[in-house]
Chain A
C-alpha cells in the first residue's frame, strides 16, 4: 500500500524563523514521484515541486529547499527566513505510475507565520 505521513499537524513560528515540514512516504514501487503543494486560505492547491525517485539531489528555489532521502523514505521541505505570506496548509504527495497518475496525499501541515 502507498502512504504519505506528515506527522506535524500544525506548526507556528515567528516571521524570519526557518521551518522544516516533514514528509515520510511508503511505497513498494521503485519508480515514483514526490510532490509538495501549498494550499493558501483561498483553497487552491499550488504546485511547488516534483522529484522523481531516481534523483536524490536536493533542490533550492529561493527561500524554499527540499531534502529527498530514499534511505529514510523522506522528502522534507524547509522554508528559510519565513514570511507571513508563507502561511498555508502544505501537502506532501506521492505519485504512482500505474496507468494513472493519481496522487496519494499526506494529511497536510498547517503552517502559521506570525508577524
Chain B
C-alpha cells in the first residue's frame, strides 16, 4: 500500500514568510508524528498526534510553530515568520494504534529559508 506522503518535497522561502508543510499518513494509522532533521541538531521530535488531538507538543521549538490534524488523517505543520535557522528537513511519520511503537516515515520536506 501507499506509504507516508509529504508535500512539497522542497520549499524555498524568504525570511519572514509563513510556510505550510503537509503530511498524509498511511491509511488507517491513527498516530502521526513530526520530526525535524537539521545539520546541527540531528533528528528532533516536534509533535505527536493521536487522532486529531496533540497530547505532546513538547518538541515545538517556538510559538512560531504550530500543527493541526483534521479528520484523523492529513496534518499540516505551519511555521510563521520563518527564520534561517528553520531550514531543515521536516519528516512526518505515522503508526498504527495497535503498534504505536513502530513509526513509518515519509520522504520529508526540505525547507530552505533565505
- A45 engages B91 (CB within 8 Å): yes
Secondary structure of the B contact surface, majority rule: strand
Q: Which of B33, B56, B59, B108 contacts A44 (CB 8 A)?
A: B108
Which segment of B16-24, B42-50, B67-75 sits at the interface?
A: B42-50
Given A37-B105, A43-B89, A47-B104, A108 contacting B42 (CB threshold 8 A): yes
Question: Measured between C-beta atoms, what is the minimum distance from B62 to chain A in Å?
Answer: 18
Which segment of A58-66, A70-78, A99-107 sits at the interface?
A: A99-107
Any B CB within 8 A of the CB of A25: no
Chain B residues proximal to chain A, CB less than 8 Å: 3, 31, 33, 35, 42-45, 48, 55-56, 59, 89, 91, 93, 95, 100-108, 110
- B42 engages A103 (CB within 8 Å): no
Given A43-B108, A44-B108, A101 contacting B101 (CB threshold 8 A): yes
Least CB separation from A6: chain B residue:
B42
- A101 engages B105 (CB within 8 Å): no
Cross-chain pair count, CB within 8 angstroms: 57
Question: Measured between C-beta atoms, what is the minimum distance from A25 to chain B in Å?
Answer: 14
Interface size class of A (residues with CB under 8 A): 20 to 34
Chain A residues proximal to chain B, CB less than 8 Å: 33, 35, 37, 42-47, 50, 52, 91, 93, 95, 99-108
Least CB separation from B42: chain A residue:
A107
Question: Measured between C-beta atoms, what is the minimum distance from B71 to chain A in Å?
Answer: 21
Q: How far is A37 from B110 in the complex, measured between Cα atoms in Å?
A: 19
- B59 engages A102 (CB within 8 Å): yes
Given A42-B107, A44-B108, A100-B48, A105 contacting B43 (CB threshold 8 A): yes
Given A102-B45, A104-B45, A107-B42, A44 contacting B55 (CB threshold 8 A): no
Question: Measured between C-beta atoms, what is the minimum distance from B70 to chain A in Å?
Answer: 20
Q: How far is A30 from B69 in the complex, measured between Cα atoms in Å?
A: 32
Least CB separation from B110: chain A residue:
A43
Cβ–Cβ < 8 Å partners of B33 in chain A: 101-103
